[in-house]
Amino acid sequence: MKKLFTIGYEGAALDDFMRTLKTAKIDVLLDVRELPISRRRGFSKTALGSALAEAGIRYRHEKQLGSPKIIRHQLREDGNYPRFFRKFDRHLIEQSALLETLAEELKGNVALMCYEKDHEECHRRSVANALAELLGKTPIHLGVEPYPHRMRCIPSRHSSCTKFIPWVSGCMC
């Protein structure tokens, strides 16, 4: 794996989402939703897979890396993110063999995708951090902006970048 990215499609149009992936030179989109369905047009598994194939981007869905329903529903009821991440991180430990396989199998630039725009409020943050630890990489969190777009780095605990930057050929922070 060259670089590890994460991306959320909340509020995004499919064409802006695809443009963001192409600009970042994503080779593989790893869908980490437990259920790869969406009310947002173009983001269900079949439609998204077709759009990605047309763009030359490989699609892979890993249900086991999704947030289990019981954990998601509890978060929806109580809004307790620290508890949500504790429970999800315990779930993720059970997926360590899958994470190790993915770390070996995935080639090129890989983006982990889920719904939430803010990676700090999404389980993909934990998945990205687990893969990053196995690979010795720093995850880059992409934001989808409407066309004409500018992408910004979203700071994580692995990065101190907070500047708004035009996307050129990689993370500039």
Asked whether residue 164 is domain-assigned, the answer is no
pTM for the predicted model, two decimal places: 0.83
Asked whether residue 59 is domain-assigned, the answer is yes
Question: Which of 5-19, 35-49, 158-172 comes out lowest in average pLDDT?
Answer: 158-172
Residues 173 and 156: their CA atoms lie apart, in Å, by: 12
Asked whether residue 148 is domain-assigned, the answer is no
CATH number at residue 122: 3.40.1010
pLDDT, tens only, 44-85: 999 999 999 999 999 999 999 999 999 999 999 999 999 999
Q: How confident is the model at residue 1 (pLDDT cuts 50, 70, 90)?
A: confident
pLDDT, tens only, 13-25: 999 999 999 999 9
Domains: count for the chain: 1
Asked whether residue 160 is domain-assigned, the answer is no
Asked whether residue 71 is domain-assigned, the answer is yes
Range of the domain at 108: 4-142
